Amino acid sequence: MTRNPRRHALSVPVRSGSEVGFPQSLGEVHDMLYDKSLERDNCGFGLIAHIEGEPSHKVVRTAIHALARMQHRGAILADGKTGDGCGLLLQKPDRFFRIVAQERGWRLAKNYAVGMLFLNKDPELAAAARRIVEEELQRETLSIVGWRDVPTNEGVLGEIALSSLPRIEQIFVNAPAGWRPRDMERRLFIARRRIEKRLEADKDFYVCSLSNLVNIYKGLCMPADLPRFYLDLADLRLESAICLFHQRFSTNTVPRWPLAQPFRYLAHNGEINTITGNRQWARARTYKFQTPLIPDLHDAAPFVNETGSDSSSMDNMLELLLAGGMDIIRAMRLLVPPAWQNNPDMDPELRAFFDFNSMHMEPWDGPAGIVMSDGRFAACNLDRNGLRPARYVITKDKLITCASEVGIWDYQPDEVVEKGRVGPGELMVIDTRSGRILHSAETDDDLKSRHPYKEWMEKNVRRLVPFEDLPDEEVGSRELDDDTLASYQKQFNYSAEELDSVIRVLGENGQEAVGSMGDDTPFAVLSSQPRIIYDYFRQQFAQVTNPPIDPLREAHVMSLATSIGREMNVFCEAEGQAHRLSFKSPILLYSDFKQLTTMKEEHYRADTLDITFDVTKTTLEATVKELCDKAEKMVRSGTVLLVLSDRNIAKDRLPVPAPMAVGAIQTRLVDQSLRCDANIIVETASARDPHHFAVLLGFGATAIYPYLAYETLGRLVDTHAIAKIIVP
């Protein structure tokens, strides 16, 4: 479920004043309709690695050959030579770079890094970028060895790729004596983020890689032309033990050089359909990310981009987790967990590990197939849906190939030692240092044993008592008489059709009414009838590449489980981080709501914020601002459960629309670095169907108590309009 759909695919900026009118050019149409946040791609991907970590040019050559076999996975533009983007991520080819440095009279330290940069074609802007890059690297006490023009052959590019071709250069950087590789990698991360923020106005500047562990070559050429464009890749002296490869197919956008993959640690096939929520929550958690390994970590904020592709945002988060001290295995199990909630056969210790993780970050859900490397480990991960294929082959020469299809290079059948596939939610890791291949069972056994997660969870996590286990007097009953109920229904725009066709059916069957696909009612903004605020929003989904998901027959990969409490620092795993309260669904019953709002523990302290206002004394705008001020003050004073309630309506006292109140307070708390210290619980009469709940959750609500919907169902039962109530 996307938690924060703050924008949707039909958003178009509206011009005002004298500018109102039709667009004057195709470029202006593009600017109005194109939204960078909607970047998606569906691609071919894979990795080739020598299991024992022996570098060779064969690994590089085989990866390029495999990439050429995946040309059908990408698109070709009208010039016949420009692709959507392809590239390679290599374990740093140390021998090759030392030869390059020696040829130029440079001295490389034991620990050095190479950056691959796209610079502006304008010489002055390129020079300015070089100066800023050098300043920020030297600020980190790193020594600049020199700049290198990357040898390229522009003749293999199509006209479209050539028209946007950046200046491509490498920078060589030495670390001070005594620095460990990971120390240098962290300082390079901070330096790069400072560089990017200083050069934000230069749209052609892009850092493909700046690392002492891996290097990237990518662009808008055809896969077979990659070594013809980047002459380094055809040099037999360029050797690597790990090579990720990727052929991009852009489903929504025009290709651009920076969006070619791999990114700095990973390559991704599929779509992160929760990306809007992931990005918003990454921004909300910014102040929670702290690590003694990087005291000035917040110089790198914001950590996750909101304008690149979904894959690049996931790469940003992986990069942050690695910089903060996580290993790549732990980080990927946090970002892309398997389906653990409804798996009865899962080891309780392992379930506790994933349950603990879920309290600190929501999944980055696909469909997604991901390959990644940090220079030591090469890995392939599928999300829990398993809708992107990943098959592997191990040959006698200790090479392992894992890709979105088989037959991507010409090994002989008698050379094959083992073959198989990476399944839904599985992670396969090649440790080139120890020469081992680790499958999910082995990696998960290691992860679950790092801390006593099960003991922490059993001791600290509270669970709401289920409805069916409570005595009758605690289940709840109608609180509104018929006249008051009718007044509330009129105030919140309940129609007779809605009562019969929506709410009654939900009560009788426990699910939405079955109907034909589509909505033929007028857009709310054009309707001649009064429409509630929820009708002005539409579901955002990716229709191009996603197969239909059946939440009933595929319930094992679905979960509405929700936890509340203060979020903690994800880099510090300790027992105190398990102080959370968990329940099965964000849609609360009466008994759930009462339990939540009457807890005595200070770390579950609940306070109510009235979201109604006197129309004779104030305005809606002033009320919303006042609500934000009150919410901020309450959270600063220790409120953890912020209950927004519209129960207090009366003559001349109207409710603030619940999505408006939730969205405004969510934004204020995020801006003030408070959101992850509180949870927004909405007690509202306005929400009564799944779309309404989705809108509230999308704007930032943690849980919803739709009290008027329950009162209405109670009335339908009393009048025998419903024979029974189905409780989920």
Question: Which residues are catalytic, by number?
Answer: 43
138, two tokens = 């030297």
**Residue 587 carries which DSSP code?**
B
Measured CA distances, 714 to 272, 444, 465, 649 (Å)? 40, 47, 22, 20
Euclidean distance between CA atoms 650 and 432, whole angstroms: 69
- Give CA angle at 535 (529, 536), nearest 5°: 100
Q: Which residue intervals of 527-615 are DSSP H helices? A: 590-597
660, two tokens = 């408006």
137: left (phi over 0), alpha (psi -120 to 50) or beta: alpha
Quick check: 329 and 428 in contact, CB under 8 A? no
Spatial strand order of the sheet with 112-119 comes to: 143-149, 167-174, 112-119, 206-211
Quick check: 710 and 480 in contact, CB under 8 A? no
Backbone angles phi, psi at 430, to 5 degrees: -105, 120
3-state secondary structure 362-403: CCCCCCEEEEEECCCEEEEEECCCCCCCCEEEEECCCEEEEE
Euclidean distance between CA atoms 616 and 610, whole angstroms: 17
User: How is the chain split among helix, strand and coil, in percent rounded to 5?
Assistant: 40, 20, 45
The CB density around residue 292, as the number of other CB atoms within 10 Å, is 10
**How buried is residue 667: exposed, middle or buried, by Cβ count under 10 Å (0-12/13-18/19+)?**
middle
Euclidean distance between CA atoms 457 and 449, whole angstroms: 14
Euclidean distance between CA atoms 365 and 557, whole angstroms: 11
**How buried is residue 150: exposed, middle or buried, by Cβ count under 10 Å (0-12/13-18/19+)?**
middle
Euclidean distance between CA atoms 96 and 700, whole angstroms: 50
- Give CA angle at 64 (59, 70), nearest 5°: 130
Q: Which residue intervals of 76-158 are DSSP H helices? A: 94-103, 123-139
